[in-house]
Amino acid sequence: MSSEDPLASAAEGVTKGFLGWTEEKIKGLVRRFQDRDIAFVQNPETINLLKEQRNTSEWNLFREYVDDHDLHILFMLGLTLRKLEDQQDQLKSLRDKIVNKYDAKGLHIAQFIQDGLFGKFLGNALGRTSTPQKLKFEIKNLFDNIEQTVVFVKETDDVDKKTEEVVAKLRANSPNTFIICSSGYAKKKCEQIKEKAMRKISGYVAERSETQFKQIYFLNKSE
Q: Are residues 145 and 217 in the same domain?
A: yes
Distances (CA, A) of 36 to 29, 79, 122, 210: 11, 19, 30, 38
Task: Please report the pLDDT score of residue 1 as a whole number.
Answer: 47
User: Is 42 in a helix, a strand, or coil?
Assistant: coil
* Domain termination residue (choose one: 71, 95, 114): 114
**Which of 4, 209, 6 minimizes the C-alpha distance to 120?**
209
* Domain termination residue (choose one: 62, 91, 114): 114
Whether 4 maps to a domain, the answer reads: no
Range of lowest pLDDT (75-84, 92-101, 104-113, 207-216): 207-216
d(CA 183, CA 197): 19
Q: What CATH number is given to the structural domain containing 176?
A: 3.30.110.20
Q: Are residues 128 and 211 in the same domain?
A: yes
Which uninterrupted H or E stretch holds 208? strand 204-210
Mean pLDDT of the region 19-25: 50
Task: Give the structural domain span for 86.
Answer: 38-114
Q: Are residues 128 and 70 in the same domain?
A: no
Q: What is the pTM of this model?
A: 0.77
Whether 148 maps to a domain, the answer reads: yes
